[in-house]
């Protein structure tokens, strides 16, 4: 484990998150959106994650298994309904919005929601 040496500049963050699952991903999105708001004071954040890339319940991504909560409880909609990080923005970016609406089922597949999480994680890097 690296240690700070006296006299070295050690970064100081406003927010430090341990793990980068959906909760901290939603926090990273909130910080990103906050920092792009006109006149906002910049918030610095750093997230620590042991996995190389984003992953959410990989063992639970069973074919045809659906989410048990509304897609509106995504990473951003409850906080910011106009967010470019919403599940609807994801569907639009993948040319899947019309298909999703016409499917007549408002509970997306867990596999698709996992893909949404990965898409959002890539956008906040």
Cα 1 → chain centroid: 28
Segment 33-52, tens digit of pLDDT: 999 999 999 999 999 988 87
Whether the Cβ atoms of residue 76 and residue 86 lie closer than 8 Å to each other: yes
First to last CA, the chain: 24
Give CA–CA dist 98/96, Å, rounded. Answer: 6
pLDDT tens profile 87-99: 999 999 999 999 9
φ and ψ at 17, to 5 degrees?
A: -110, 135
> Which pair of tokens denotes residue 108?
């997306």
pLDDT band of residue 6 (cuts 50, 70, 90) is: low
């Amino acid at each position: 484990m690296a240690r700070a040496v006296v006299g070295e500049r050690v970064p100081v963050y406003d927010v430090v998150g341990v793990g980068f699952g959906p909760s901290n991903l939603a926090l990273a999105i909130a910080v990103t959106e906050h920092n792009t708001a006109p006149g906002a004071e910049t918030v610095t954040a750093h997230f620590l994650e042991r996995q190389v890339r984003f992953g959410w319940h990989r063992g639970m991504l069973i074919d045809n298994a659906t989410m048990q909560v509304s897609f509106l409880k995504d990473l951003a909609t409850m906080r910011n309904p106009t967010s470019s990080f919403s599940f609807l923005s994801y569907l639009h970016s993948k040319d899947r919005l019309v298909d999703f609406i016409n499917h007549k089922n408002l509970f997306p597949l867990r596999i698709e929601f996992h893909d949404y999480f990965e898409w959002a994680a890539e956008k906040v890097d």
